[in-house]
Amino acid sequence: MIDAVKSLAAFTWRSRMQSAGIFVFIALALIPAAICFVAFKFGNSAPGDELVLLREYVVPINIYLTLPFIVIFLTLPTVGSLYEKGAIAYMFTRPTPRWVCVFGLFVGSFISTLPLLLISALAPSLVCTLFADADTGDLFNIAFMQSLLLAVAALPYIALCLLLAFWSKKSLLWASFFLFFWGSVIGSLPGSAKLWSIHHYVMGLAKSWCDIDKVASGLIPPSDDPPLNIVSLVVLLGMCCVFIYLAQLAAKKRDIY
């Protein structure tokens, strides 16, 4: 089983990270750093603005846009290519349990996502050190906590995308709905509906770990009553396990021929 997980993880890495498309992902991950560069190069920045920029602009951009885009376009095409080429039938007719195949794709997607998330979190702080006078320790403390936040958030997002990829041929539409609309909009509205959104728990961790009190745009702010960190972690990791379990069930029901 371990060999099967390693093989599928390696396949996922090669199919996503060793193609020309990697440059598109890198460019996407560098967007927050580019925003910081433009702000300092062409804007009127006062001392201390760099910390505000990271907290109120960069962290929300990474949560609302960078993370979902990277996860969606790293995960869904991998599963889609297996169905298109018929390789999924070969995998699922082997004696290896299907949950092992799903878990191998999950591990490979997570490993492929990590370097890009690190770029999106670290590059803005590096730009701030070049143009600002803030303490380097503060800048990279935010970068470290943001990296940890994005890595934790990527786990349920990737598992959800795998579930949707095995469950539906229109997985891109469903993933866009759940990761953007249901996540960013429903997950930030007052009321009990937000408790069913991954985004609500991610922003709870962001508020604690990255000291976010508001979003610069004023839209979709963090909750005034975020869940406790331990609750957010348990829910996010629990969602990850549930989505992987449901993904292997969906893989059993979907026609592979």
Q: Which of 39-43, 65-69, 103-107, 251-255 has the lowest mean pLDDT?
A: 251-255
Sign of the torsion angle spanned by Cα atoms 86, 87, 88, 92: positive
- CA–CA gap between residue 145 and residue 139 (Å, rounded): 10
User: Token digits for 151?
Assistant: 């890595």
User: Token digits for 44?
Assistant: 């009127």
Q: How does residue 221 score in pLDDT terms, banded at 50, 70 and 90?
A: low
HSE-up of 237 (CA within 13 Å, CB side)? 7
- CA–CA gap between residue 85 and residue 79 (Å, rounded): 10
Sign of the torsion angle spanned by Cα atoms 206, 212, 213, 216: negative
Domain range for 244 is 2-253
How far are the Cα atoms of 17, 65, 112, 118, 165 from residue 199, in angstroms, in the given order? 26, 12, 21, 19, 20
Which pTM was predicted?
0.88
pLDDT, average across residues 37-57 = 75
Model confidence at 146: pLDDT above 60:
yes
pLDDT of residue 251: 81
More confident: 33 or 85: 33
User: Token digits for 197?
Assistant: 């959104």
Provide the number of structural domains found in the chain.
Answer: 1
pLDDT of residue 38: 86
pLDDT of residue 224: 67
pLDDT of residue 116: 94
- 69-118 pLDDT, tens per residue? 999 988 888 888 877 776 676 666 666 777 788 888 999 999 999 999 99
DSSP one-letter code for 219 = S
User: Token digits for 158?
Assistant: 């990737």
Q: Which of 11-15, 111-115, 238-242 has the lowest mean pLDDT?
A: 11-15
- CA–CA gap between residue 65 and residue 62 (Å, rounded): 6
The average confidence (pLDDT) of the chain is 82
Q: How does residue 148 score in pLDDT terms, banded at 50, 70 and 90?
A: very high
